[in-house]
Amino acid sequence: MKKYLWLISCLILSLALHAEQHAKEDNKISALPYYGSAEFTPHWFSENSPELINFHQVSDFKLINQQGEYITQDKVKNKTYVASFFFTSCPGICPKMRSQLSKVQDKFMENNDVMIISHSIQPSNDTVDVLQAYAQENDINAGKWQLLTGDQDEIYALARNAYFANEDLGEFVSQQDFLHTENLVLVDGNRHIRGIYNGLNNTSVELLLKDIRLLLSERKLQH
């Protein structure tokens, strides 16, 4: 009888420890913060925090890529992606940013859970044909890297209100200003902003590559 009582006690203890471990995992704080405003104040949440239900997410969109296909938020569902803003005739910061984003493309070419989305801020000039030629000239893989054109008002609204891409870490700009930014925005599979990086800075881009890996690991643990 004592032997059976001992076995039952061990079983109860094991179940209790198992439940405690699951509780700790459920309350584990994410490796990267969440950002919900143009001030880019970091918020730290556990993976299953109820606060994430109403936390800022990138809004729905419908734009056209370099292959003439309509692209919506469904394209990035459950994917980690980097958002940027550019125009094909840009002689200044865009070539450098393109070179940095090529690192992302090359590092994660075989990973279908990672994408790049570059929005043209001169969509009237950057037609599908222009984007397609630009992609071919710069070895941009359509399966990995989407070049988007479409309605300028929609693109600017996305940049300013969804990605906060035209804000320099809290320094606000006028809504009438021409949108041109070196910022790269990291977004997770639930369309939450998880990082902002200077696309002209090698160290910042190396951090971006590291943080993409962190998000992929986070996503894997959640499933």
- Is 180 annotated in some ligand binding site? yes
The tokens for 171 are 């320094």
CA-CA-CA-CA torsion sign (173, 171, 200, 164): negative
State how far the alpha carbon of 40 is from the alpha carbons of 134, 156, 196, in Å: 32, 19, 8
CB 125 within 8 A of CB 113: no
Phi, psi (rounded to 5 degrees) for 70: -75, 130
CB 33 within 8 A of CB 44: yes
Contacts of 197 (CB under 8 A, 6+ apart): 183, 184, 185, 186, 204, 205, 207, 208
Phi, psi (rounded to 5 degrees) for 61: -150, 160
DSSP 158: I
- Is 94 annotated in some ligand binding site? yes
- Identify the helix (H) or strand (E) that includes residue 115: strand 114-120
Place of tokens 């890297």: 145
CB atoms within 10 A of CB 103: 14
Going by DSSP bridges, is the β-strand pair 114-120/145-148 parallel, antiparallel, or unpaired?
parallel
Write out the binding residues. 90, 94, 180
Binding site as annotated, residues for Cu cation? 90, 94, 180
